[in-house]
Amino acid sequence: MSDDAKRVPCTSCGAGILIATADRNEGQCMKCKPSTDQSMPKSTQGENPIAGIFAGLFLIGLGAGLYYLFYLLESGGIGSIRLPGIIIIAYKLSGKWIVSGLVGILGVFLVYVNILDVLRRKK
């Protein structure tokens, strides 16, 4: 029974495992041990940072487009156009600088975060 003395319970499922195995797997049996082979960076989550950068650029363009649209609205250039109600409400509540600025800032933020992600992956 000297074999039992060399076994410790797995920290996850409680199964008896060899101390040598526990040492290798941070106290877990072969079944429970997190596979080190697929240790992808958790932050990426399968997202494509390049797509994120383009989405950010799109938002920046959208912000500029919204500002131009509000400018046309104010000058009476496009009185007949139908805008989504949420955009009109946001515009009436806060003004064109705030609405287009927030969209643009969101875009800049998205580009910034995803460029950082690309740089991190290159390491």
Q: Which stretch binds Zn ion (CB under 5 A): 15-23, 37-45, 66-74, 109-117?
A: 15-23
Q: Which range of residues in 25-33, 51-59, 73-81, 113-121 is near Zn ion by CB under 5 A?
A: 25-33
Could you say whether residue 11 binds Zn ion (CB under 5 A)?
A: no
Q: CA–CA separation, 104 vs 82, rounded Å?
A: 22
**Crossing angle of helices 49-74 and 96-122, rounded to 10°:** 170
Q: Which residues of 23-61 are buried (b: 16+ CB within 10 A; e: fewer)?
A: eebebbbeebbeeeeeeeeeeeeeeebeebbebbeebbe
**Which residue number, 12 or 52, has a Cβ lying nearer to Zn ion?**
12
For residue 54, give Cα distances in angstroms to 42, 48, 58, 61, 68.
Answer: 22, 10, 6, 10, 21
Nearest residue (CB) to Zn ion, 28 versus 114: 28
Q: Which of 22, 29, 90, 111 binds Zn ion (CB under 5 A)?
A: 29
Q: How far is the CB of 26 from Zn ion (least distance, A)?
A: 11
Nearer to Zn ion, 17 or 60 (CB): 17
For Zn ion, which stretch binds (CB under 5 A), given 22-30, 38-46, 51-59, 109-117?
Answer: 22-30
Residues of the shown chain interacting with Zn ion in the complex, contacts defined by CB under 5 A = 10, 12-13, 15, 29, 32
